[in-house]
Amino acid sequence: MYRASSLVKKIAKECYFHKGIDIKIFDVKDVTPMANYYVVLSALNARQIKGFQEIVEKTIESADGGVVKNVEGRHGADWVIVDGGDIVVNIFSKEERERVKFDDIYRHCNLVEFEKGDTKEE
């Protein structure tokens, strides 16, 4: 069974490796019963958002016991949410992220550091 604290770092690292912009991991377990971690990142365009969605889904599903419960905002959306249960990943266009002010909403939460080195495709 996967550990959310390890999987969330792997997700962030994969997104960083594939040129995700301004990736942050918010520890939200004391804020919401919905998840333990929110990952947020920006992408340059709808095609890149779709690519990150696929990377996140693959990374979650490759974890022992990892399941993608839901995906919201497909097909050219400016904001896609991938719900992996304990981990929810928010993939934004840069403009939508600024408009929604997602980072400001969770600014009081602790940020989780992740390694930004090379990753190996598994």
Helices of type H across the chain:
4-17, 46-62, 94-100, 102-105
> pTM for this one?
0.92
Q: Are strands 87-93 and 37-43 parallel, antiparallel or unpaired?
A: parallel
Q: Are strands 110-111 and 21-27 parallel, antiparallel or unpaired?
A: antiparallel
Select the CATH number that applies to the domain covering 4-111 from these four: 3.20.20.450, 3.30.460.10, 3.30.1360.120, 3.30.1490.100: 3.30.460.10
Structure tokens at 104: 């400001």
Domain boundaries, the chain: 4-111
* pLDDT by 10s per residue, the chain, length 122: 579 999 999 999 999 999 999 999 999 999 999 999 999 999 999 999 999 999 999 999 999 989 999 999 977 789 999 999 999 999 999 999 999 999 999 999 999 999 987 655 44
Cβ count within 10 A of residue 21: 15
Cβ count within 10 A of residue 15: 24
